[in-house]
């Protein structure tokens, strides 16, 4: 089974340099050095707190953890199951999503995440808070995913993902706007109609969005999901994926526009 299946296996957690080749982010050409060593962070930035803080570890670089994260970390280290389950609930799905950027199957992504959790647990006592807990954890996920992809020599060709935002794709079909010959050129010819509140608030809406997300190209889906489902901010998404803020926004825009269009089509179809 997986090396970390029963917490046996390697002498060091996946966050160490052993066996993990440095590589770029899932979108090639974005090599960062942060993943080669203890992986404190994945390029996520946060200003260091005042170095005179009495809660800081005595050695190493100053902790950047917020007080709530310090408390979370202390609870985890103390073996608090509720704290652990809260962490799982908060990050598990995003971890799977990130893992699946590197490996080709759902089963591999699950294996990666399982290994990453083991790495997180093993590393907890070594973690010095030089990045947020989340950044550190996702660094471990990326390391595990790259290791597995290398081991199985079946990494997904991801170099094309960053280019997903490159094609010029309109958010709404051009034929829904008046043509150049019209004096109101560029205004709606077939305007959107308001959706009934009851349907917007229904479970159906969530299902439609799930379907729409599933149909998106991978980079768009990843960006929109991390931003709008997992509530990440754009800086964290850019750091993790190794893309620029502008590229992130283009991908997000494409994704949201496509999802809205899909929902519109489906709601109209069922109305008819």
Q: Provide the binding-site residues for another protein, judged by CB under 8 A.
A: 6-7, 79, 81, 84-85, 88-89, 92-93, 114, 117-118, 121-122, 125-126, 170-172, 174, 177, 183-188, 191-195, 200, 205-206, 209-210, 213, 224, 228-231, 234, 249, 252-253, 256-257, 259-260, 263-264
Q: Which is closer to another protein, CB of 49 or CB of 253? A: 253
Nearest by Cα to 209 from 165, 147, 267, 141:
267
Q: Please, what is the minimum distance in Å from the beta carbon of residue 16 to another protein?
A: 13
Q: Please, what is the minimum distance in Å from the beta carbon of residue 80 to another protein?
A: 9
How many angstroms separate the Cα of 228 from the Cα of each of 3, 6, 64, 251, 253? 33, 34, 25, 13, 12
Q: Which residues contact 137 (CB under 8 A, 6 or more apart)?
A: 91, 95, 116, 120
Q: Is 188 helix (H, G, I), strand (E, B) or coil?
A: strand
Q: Where are the alpha helices (DSSP H) in 80-227?
A: 81-99, 106-123, 133-152, 197-200, 203-215, 218-224
Residue 179, CB half-sphere, CA atoms under 13 Å: how many?
2
Q: Which is closer to another protein, CB of 153 or CB of 194? A: 194
Q: Which is closer to another protein, CB of 53 or CB of 245? A: 245
Q: Please, what is the minimum distance in Å from the beta carbon of residue 151 to another protein?
A: 21
Q: Are 208 and 262 in contact (CB under 8 A)?
A: yes
Q: Which residues contact 216 (CB under 8 A, 6 or more apart)?
A: 224, 255, 258, 259
Q: Please, what is the minimum distance in Å from the beta carbon of residue 158 to another protein?
A: 23
Q: Which is closer to another protein, CB of 23 or CB of 241? A: 241
Q: Please, what is the minimum distance in Å from the beta carbon of residue 205 to another protein?
A: 4
Q: Which is closer to another protein, CB of 67 or CB of 196? A: 196
């Amino acid at each position: 089974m997986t090396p970390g299946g029963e917490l046996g296996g390697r002498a060091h957690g996946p966050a160490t340099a052993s066996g993990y080749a440095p590589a770029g982010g899932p979108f090639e050409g974005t090599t960062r050095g942060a993943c080669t060593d203890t992986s404190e962070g994945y390029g996520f930035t946060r200003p260091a707190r005042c170095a005179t803080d009495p809660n800081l570890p005595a050695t190493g670089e100053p902790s950047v953890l917020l007080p709530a994260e310090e408390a979370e970390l202390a609870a985890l280290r103390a073996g608090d199951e509720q704290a652990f389950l809260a962490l799982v609930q908060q990050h598990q799905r995003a971890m799977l999503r990130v893992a699946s950027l590197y490996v080709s199957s759902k089963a591999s992504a699950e294996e990666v995440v399982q290994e990453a959790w083991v790495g997180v647990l093993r590393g907890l006592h070594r973690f010095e808070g030089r990045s947020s807990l989340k950044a550190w954890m996702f660094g471990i996920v990326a390391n595990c995913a790259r290791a597995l992809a290398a081991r199985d020599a079946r990494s997904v060709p991801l170099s094309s993902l960053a280019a997903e935002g490159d094609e010029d794709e309109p958010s709404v079909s051009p034929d829904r706007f008046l043509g150049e010959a019209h004096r109101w050129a560029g205004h709606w010819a077939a305007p959107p109609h308001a959706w009934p509140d009851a349907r917007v608030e229904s479970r159906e809406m969530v299902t439609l969005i799930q379907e729409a997300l599933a149909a998106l190209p991978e980079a768009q889906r990843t960006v929109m999901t991390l931003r709008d489902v997992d509530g990440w901010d754009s800086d964290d998404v850019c750091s993790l994926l190794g893309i620029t803020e502008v590229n992130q926004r283009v991908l997000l825009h494409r994704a949201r526009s496509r999802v809205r269009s899909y929902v519109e089509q489906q709601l109209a179809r069922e109305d008819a």
